[in-house]
Structure formats: C-alpha cells, structure tokens
Chain A
Amino acid sequence: MSLLHPSIEEIRQKLNDRELSVEELVSASLARIEQVDGTVGAFLSVHAEEARKHAQALDRKLQEGGPQGLLFGLPAGVKDNLNTLGFKTTCASQFLSNHTSIYDATAVRKLKEQDYVLVGKTNMDEFAMGGSNENSSFHPVRNPWNVDYVPGGSSGGSAAAVAAGEVSFALGSDTGGSIRQPASYCGIVGLKPTYGLVSRFGLVAFASSLDQIGPLTRTVADSAYVLQAIAGHDTQDSTSLNVEIPDYRKALTGDIRGLRIAVPKEYMGEGVAPAVRDAVKNALVELEKLGAVWEEVSLPHTEYAVAAYYLLASSEASSNLARFDGVRYGVRSDRAEGLIDLYRKSRSEGFGPEVKRRIMLGTYALSSGYYDAYYLKAQKVRSLIKRDFDQVFERFDVVVGPTAPTPAFKLGEQASDPLTMYLNDILTIPVSLAGIPAISIPCGSDNGLPIGLQIIGKALDEATVLRTAHAFEQSTKYHLARPEL
C-alpha cells in the first residue's frame, strides 16, 4: 500500500476495521524509504528493525483490543535535533555524529504515548541553521517535486519525507521559518504553534526565545491530530505555557463565514515573485467565496525583521552552542594540547561554516561595546514587530500572505551568499519574533514547484488558523497533488 494518499483519519479507520495491520503500514513506510530515499536523502538514520518490532507489539495490542493512542501505528520521522532515547541525535553535525540520546524529548515522549512508530531521524541544516538543507554535514536533501531543487530548511528532511510519502507525518522545529518554509517548498502542511504551546525539553536549543516544535503533514486534519498529541504544559520547560488545550479537530468545521482576513501589503510587494503573488490572490478569491472578508493592512516594521532576527537568533545560538566543548559528548579532537585547546579544536573541527558564522555574529553582537547597538536594539525592534501584529489582530481574525517570496530554488544557487539565503525567511521571521502561530498550506505551483499560503493567527488561537486552512484545503485540490519519484 502507498502511504502517499491516506490521511491519518483514513488509516485509523483501516486499522480499526482490520483492513490493515500496523506491520503492513510500517513495512510500506520502510519500503518507500528503501525505494526513494537514496535520491531524496530525507533520512539520516532509519531504524527498520526497531520499527518492525514496535509495529508487531502494536498489532498485538490491536488484537487484544487494548486502548489505541491518537497516532496509533503511524510511521513517522523525527527531526534529528529532537532527542529520541536509544537512537542517534546528531543535529546533522559532524560534532554530534557519535551522539546517542539518553532520554526522550517531551514531544517525542508524547508521540510515544499516542502509539506512533518512529521509523527514523530526518535530515536538516546543521543545528537548524539554514533554509535549504544544504548545511547538513552529511548529505543534502532533494525536493521530491524536482530533485535539482532544494526542499527548504531547516526541517528539509521532515518536509521531503512527508511529501515523498515515506512517512505519515514528521516533526520539525521552527526558529525563523524552519517548518513553514520547507512545507511551502515541498507542497505540504507545516504548522508552527504559539511559542510555549509545545515543550522544548529535549530539543537541542538553537535560539531559545524563538524555537518551537511542530508537525509536518499532508493535510490540515493530520496537522490537528499531531498538534493534539504534542501540545501541553511541561514542568521540564520553564517557558511552557500552562493553558487548556482545546480539541483542535473540532475546529475543522469548514465554516469560515464572516472570518476577517488581513493581507499585509508588505507581504505582497516587489520582493515576492509574481507567480507567488498570483497564487495568494487566487487563494483570497477562494476564501471570499467561502464567506470570509479580506482587507489590505500594513505591518510597517516587516522590513526590519530579518536584521533583528539574525542578531537575536545568532546571539542566542552563540550562547546555546557554548555547551559543545568536546567534554561530555560529541567528537573530541585528538590533536588538542590542554583543556582550552580541546574546546577550540573540537569546536573548530566539529562545526560547519554556517554554524561558525552564526556563532561569530552572535558573539560579536553580545560583546562588550556592541550589546546596546545590536542585541538590545534588536529586542526593541522585536517589540515594534509584535505591536504591528497586535494592532492588526484588534480588527482581524487571521493574517494571510505567502509563506516564502519564491518557490524552491536550485541546489547550490544561493549557497555562496548567506545574506540572500537569509532573505528567503522574510515572511516567516516576523511571526517567529511575535511568538504567534502560523501554518503553511499548498496554494498553487510554478513550473511544477509548490507555492505555500501562510495563515497567521493570534497567540494560542491555533484553532482559527487550522479552521481557515482546513476550509481552504477542502474547497481546493492543491493538497491532492503528489510528486512523481
């Protein structure tokens, strides 16, 4: 059977009706990986034997009529910066190439509690720094729609694995767009929840005030399923929000009559490719047909977001990545003389060029004499960006625009110019700085490459984001398209 078509709901039904066993489902996933992943490169490790054993255990549970978790039997990929007990977690870095997790991230533990099956760990930009997956220390990921193109990043492996039908769903992490942008490039659904909704415990930290874990799926309903499983308060993460978690699937009514949509003119300007603008305009027509109303608004500080983000995220990264010193874990340099030299050589040999670049930028921005001009100033700009959204949300329910200014670009095309690469995130970064939820769903294509629609909501209003996305998806056919591999 193919994993490319059925939704989580349909698979659950088939399992319940005994039309399908978990073992068959997991075998189909492993066979698909065997068949296409040599080309796609979405996985850094595949745990075939463990996945099969887990599947057999779940089948026994099914036979015995035991309780079934929300994600019962579903084969999934987990981004390689999330700790998975007993399996390697490398962050696609040479530095952690020998690192095995000794505990589960909370999000992973919650998936386990809902009976998912881990089939492997997905490729990514090293330490989640990048937007093309070309910064993986091991191998690049290719876009399933056209293998000459990047899948986006940094959760490129997770997005490509879902798009190529290798797994039912995947987990990713999003700091400045790392779930939404690859979802957009790969023609699938990617949700970045409100900051604090999903525990970050066990996620290898990049920029702690921005990092958030979320699902990559083929449909909006699937996204609601996975979010339901991973959301919730966790005492292990002091930034985790203690709020009641609604039933997200109940939000998928298909009814968006009277919904007030804001369309920021800054998201539809010159820097956005005409094909992307057209796709978003068509989407707005569709949303109007469904009874929503839209109006152009301004988020005036949008153009400052990328600059503020790179200062803040790099500063936090330079501090977070100080823990990688070759003492407790990771690859220790064997050329070092003395302790300080051990730190220096282990880090220099273990980190790739983009990671070093951001550590350098962050260290500089935090260093004495520059703190006020860079770090503090960027935090103030962040307040202005947040205020822009607050003001718009006084009158509107959601903000809609493109996820990325262009469809996917070719491998190698932007690799030599970090700044150009950073600007791909211009439409996802403001949302990250404001800490609010946003989803990317497919809304068209250009030359066979998918285009993503971004729907942004108020803090903790994932329900409205999902409802809007679901209504659009169900009235269009974009989510039914599949790449040929």
Chain B
Amino acid sequence: MSITAKEVEHVAKLARLELTEEEKAMYTEQLNAILKYAEKIGSLDTDGVEPTYHAVELANVLREDEVRPSLPIESVLLNAPEEEDGQIKVPAVLE
C-alpha cells in the first residue's frame, strides 16, 4: 500500500493541519517509507489472535456519582488565550 499526495492532503484535513506544498511532498515521501516498513506486520499470521489493547488486564473502573470539587474557574482561565466574563472566548461558530 502506498499513500498519495492527495491522500496526505485528505489526512491533513482530518487532523486539522495545514501543510505547505513543501511539507506535503516531504510527508508523502516519509509516510510512504514508514508504511512500507510497517507492511512487514501484514505477513504475520494473526488468525485467531486476540488484539491487546492494554498490556494489563483491566475492567471498567466505576465510582459513585457524587459531586467532587472542581478546579477553580480562575485557574482554568489562567491558560485561556482569550476570555470574557469567566468564559473562554472563541471566534463565531456560526457565520
């Protein structure tokens, strides 16, 4: 399998990245080299092998649905690029 420049553009769009023409060419080449290398796992017979999503067996961890203290608003807003009236400000969502 190989990845085309057009697919790289599509993937960048999905990942919310804006690539320059130079970057597109570079990533097409590099991702192809990496994917070519990754293809070696395709040759392994994994029929009947269960996937390991976590190395350690874990069940769902649940807790009582009770109110706990949250971070203070001032702390949360400390790193916000823009704020207004105790809320984080973003550009208009609907034009």
Contacts and interface: CB of A to CB of B under 8 A. Distances in A.
Contact of B17 (A98, A308, A348): A348
Interface string A330-347: 111000111110111101
B46 A336 contact: no
A338 B94 CA distance: 9
What's the interface size class on A, roughly?
Answer: 35 or more
A326 B55 CA distance: 33
A391 B33 CA distance: 33
Given A328-B80, A360-B31, A380 B49 contact: yes
A459 B14 contact: no
B31 A374 contact: no
Contacts of B35: 361, 364
A396 interface: no
B67 interface: no
Given A303-B40, A357-B27, A383 B79 contact: no
Nearest to A307: B38
B86 interface: no
- The A interface, classified by DSSP as helix, strand, loop or mixed, is helix
Given A338-B95, A363-B14, A384 B54 contact: no
Interface residues of B, number: 52
A370 B71 CA distance: 40
A342 B16 CA distance: 9
Contacts, number: 168
A393 to B, nearest CB: 14
- What 9 A-B pairs have minimum CB-CB distances, sorted nearest first? A435-B55, A379-B51, A332-B81, A329-B79, A380-B46, A102-B75, A238-B61, A348-B18, A363-B15
11 contacts: A196-B56, A303-B40, A325-B16, A331-B81, A342-B91, A356-B27, A363-B14, A376-B51, A377-B41, A380-B46, A433-B52
Given A356-B23, A367-B11, A419-B33, 14 more contacts: A238-B61, A311-B41, A322-B16, A328-B76, A329-B79, A329-B81, A331-B81, A332-B81, A367-B14, A379-B52, A383-B51, A386-B55, A418-B33, A459-B56
Interface of B: 1, 3, 7-8, 11-12, 14-19, 23, 27, 30-31, 33-35, 37-42, 44, 46, 49-56, 58, 61, 63, 71, 75-76, 78-82, 88, 90-93, 95
